[in-house]
Amino acid sequence: MATRMAATPPTLAGYSYVRPLGSGGFADVFLYEQDMPRRVAAVKVLLADAVNPEVLRTFNVEADISARLSAHPSIVTIYQASISADGRPYFAMEYCPDTMSARYKKAPLPLAEVLDIGVRIAGALETVHRAGLLHRDIKPSNVLINSLGAPVLADFGIAAAVIDEGDGETIAMSVPWSSPEVLQERVSGSVPSEVWSLGATLYTLLAGRSPFERADRGSNSRDQLTERIVKARYTAVPISGIPPIIDDIFATAMHRDPAKRPASMAEFAERLRWAQYELGIAPTAFEAASAEWAAAAPVSFSDSAVRGPVITTVAPDSRRAVRAARPQAAQRERDELPSTPRTRTRSPLVAGIIGAVIGAAALAAIGTVVLYVTGIL
């Protein structure tokens, strides 16, 4: 299948184009350098001919979810979202120079690193779930590696609410990491299906291939993979020296019955942390949003509007406007007061000195007159 060439990068105020990063079905990703503050950013831009209500809805959801969740250290950070000068929606996000998909294809990752990644991404997904959302596309290529070398979860393009309205929606899926119930279209996504996908992703990083792939590449067609995943017959990690506790964790996470998998990402993370402890590895901190945070600002899944720069206005009766108007009003009141001559007053000390000088001068004058009359002068 031929790769589509990237569209012309847009002109973005405050950004300088550097180079293309990749292309997808509906968008291109470019590397830009932001002028203020100075940093590089990955900018995802919708294709001009792909802008329709459904694509805009998906794009807005991805931008809103990323912005809502990006305070988590293991979720990619979004910087800005707007409309380019030529009318294409875009958003700028943290540039991550590598992906876990590229890494495991070079060589399987060490067990200690895989466990660390698992706890971090489980914390990110627990935060997603506490916000009432599902990722629905967990796989190695959606776990990026940021500039500090840390794993971050990305690509919320097909995310959904945990409570789906059941419209029979069929979503694009990544077969090697999808659960049986998703492949059979019994659900479009759920917390247990995401536990399966994270377990399959970690297995892939450790083994160098997905759990139900065969060494013979000719046996890994979409239909063959789907058939093996639906049967869910777990195969131990094909790497020597893997402790049994690791296969136990993966086998449970990828159990055919969703009810027998860990009930949440927090529970899955605790099993990974216990394995770290048992193997003498320092347990990774589990980080997830609090319940208070999760209750704020729900994401709308029906917004298909073209959103861009707006001019912020403040209503005249707002508190801020009233506070801002007070100094001006006071100044006007001072300017309107009638001007009156200023009466200067002297201090008692100055008045006393002046009085003493005048008194001395008067006495001297009287004395002179007396002397003159008596003939002395």
Catalytic residues: 136
Biggest alpha carbon–alpha carbon distance for the chain: 148
Closest CA to 139 of 150, 147, 131, 151: 151
Backbone angles phi, psi at 344, to 5 degrees: -90, 135
Is residue 285 within a helix (H) or strand (E), and if so which, with residue range?
A: none
Rounded distance between C-alpha atoms, residue 82 and residue 290, angstroms: 29
Q: Which two tokens stand for residue 11?
A: 């002109």
DSSP code string of 176-243: GG--HHHHTTS-S--HHHHHHHHHHHHHHHHHSS-TT--SSGGG--HHHHHHHHHHT-----SSTT--
What are the residues whose beta carbons fall under 8 Å from the beta carbon of 48, sequence distance 6 or more?
7, 86, 87, 88
What are the residues whose beta carbons fall under 8 Å from the beta carbon of 86, sequence distance 6 or more?
10, 11, 48
Rounded distance between C-alpha atoms, residue 151 and residue 354, angstroms: 87
Residues 224/157, Cβ–Cβ less than 8 Å: no
3-state helix, strand and coil shares in percent for the chain, rounded to the nearest 5: 45, 15, 45
